[in-house]
Amino acid sequence: MPSLGADMAAGRLLQWLKSPGDQVKRGDIIAEVDTDKGVIEIEVFTEGTVSKLLAQEGDRVPVGTVLALITGAAAAVEEGKTPAPDTHPPAERRVIRASPVAKRFAAERGLDLADVKGTGPDGAITLADVEALTSRLPPAPSSEEETGGRLRRAIAAAMARSKREIPHYYLGTTIDLGPAVGWLSDRNRDRPPAERVLLGVLQLKAVALALREFPDLNAWWVEDRAVPKEGIHVGLAVALRGGGVVAPAVRSTDRLSLDDLMRAVRSLVDRARSGGLRSSELADATITVTSLGERGVDAVVGVIYPPQVALVGFGRPAQRPWVVSGQVVPRPVVTATLSGDHRASDGHRGALFLARVEEMLQEPGKL
């Protein structure tokens, strides 16, 4: 059971997606697990054959517990400790598409989603579908387990830890978005909707590229020092409709083209809200970007998600009077902020970083 955050102690195994005898490779999804952050797909990080499933569907499994054994050339299973392979033939498994809130609601009541008829997109099971089934059953065991409550508690734990342990410093700057907005408008004009790119993706890419020059901000605080991370995996704060927020990572954000980044972000947002986030996406973020401008705020000054050491916030792009070549003209501008961990970096470095993000956004064609 992987740790999907410093605050995670255990997860409940919802569904095995592989059976003993199945061949697996790196990146395959082997199981779905219910965590405080929603229903997460557990990936395989090796190649081989599933020899034994060690946890039962419905089990609550502590972090660090071995869920399954995989044998094969690349599998790292200690000799002499490998259980006898399960000789049962691989069973056919049907992947059930359901929203995270529906899966959790069902799991908390011990319901099998196979018994529920989905009425959502592509037959996906929605919360309403599960509620309709449970309306004939006894009520939920306790309000403690109410849907969304655990996510709230997980956020509370992480944010309280952050404010308790991380000495934040905060910086802000107003960035002229004229070049980025104009460039993007031209780029999107003749494209079908499915191929358009959002302004937020340009901001994300600018942050990722700037981080190449500021490894002290792309780091985790481990014990008593900042450990720079090799890859730049920007966590994107995604608000969930039922309340709460998750910040899954876009892997190698700096290496993706804008089109690929847009596809990755769309997929991530969709899966954060409808189910299917992968374990690595929740565990790998090296910095977080949050944008609350769409909710009408001019600026967001965020709380760093430990063990990360920085968070970038973008407010609402708005038309403001701006001086260009000595003339006051209307320009779209945005307030960008940096919340930094003062143990890992100083305000001077943070200021240089924000300035670099601003520079990046003045030349959108290079993003």
Please, which residue, 212 or 266, has the CB nearer to other proteins? 266
Evaluate the CA torsion angle 173, 176, 177, 180 in order and state its sign: negative
Binding of residue 152 to other proteins (CB under 8 A): no
Binding of residue 146 to other proteins (CB under 8 A): no
> Which residues, 6+ apart, have CB-to-CB distance to 20 below 8 Å?
50, 51, 52, 53, 85, 86, 88, 90
Binding of residue 288 to other proteins (CB under 8 A): no
Q: How many residues bind other proteins (CB under 8 A)?
A: 27
CB of 189 to other proteins, least distance (A): 7
Please, which residue, 199 or 303, has the CB nearer to other proteins? 199
For other proteins, the binding residue among 185, 257, 259, 260 (CB under 8 A) is 185
Evaluate the CA torsion angle 359, 269, 32, 242 in order and state its sign: positive
d(CA 168, CA 165): 9
The region of 13-21, 192-200, 332-340, 343-351 touching other proteins under the rule CB under 8 A is 192-200
- Contacts of other proteins in 55-114 (CB under 8 A): 99, 101
Binding of residue 198 to other proteins (CB under 8 A): yes
CB 314 within 8 A of CB 200: yes
Binding of residue 330 to other proteins (CB under 8 A): no
Binding of residue 117 to other proteins (CB under 8 A): no
Q: Is the peptide bond before 332 cis (omega within 30 degrees of 0)?
A: no
> Tokens 């985790």 identify what position?
220
- Contacts of other proteins in 232-271 (CB under 8 A): 239, 241-242, 265-266, 269-270
d(CA 254, CA 1): 29
Please, which residue, 3 or 188, has the CB nearer to other proteins? 188
User: Cα 285–287–293 angle (5° rounding)?
Assistant: 115
Please, which residue, 274 or 280, has the CB nearer to other proteins? 274
Evaluate the CA torsion angle 49, 51, 57, 61 in order and state its sign: negative
Please, which residue, 203 or 345, has the CB nearer to other proteins? 203
CB 276 within 8 A of CB 41: yes
- Contacts of other proteins in 199-218 (CB under 8 A): 199-200
Binding of residue 121 to other proteins (CB under 8 A): yes
Binding of residue 127 to other proteins (CB under 8 A): yes
d(CA 266, CA 261): 8
For other proteins, the binding residue among 35, 49, 51, 126 (CB under 8 A) is 126
How would you write 146-198 as a 3-class SS string?
CCCHHHHHHHHHHHHHHHHHCCEEEEEEEEECHHHHHHHHHHHHCCCHHHCCC
CB 2 within 8 A of CB 33: no
Binding of residue 151 to other proteins (CB under 8 A): no
Instruction: List contacts with other proteins (CB under 8 A).
Output: 99, 101, 120-121, 124, 126-127, 185, 188-189, 192-194, 196, 198-200, 239, 241-242, 265-266, 269-270, 273-274, 294
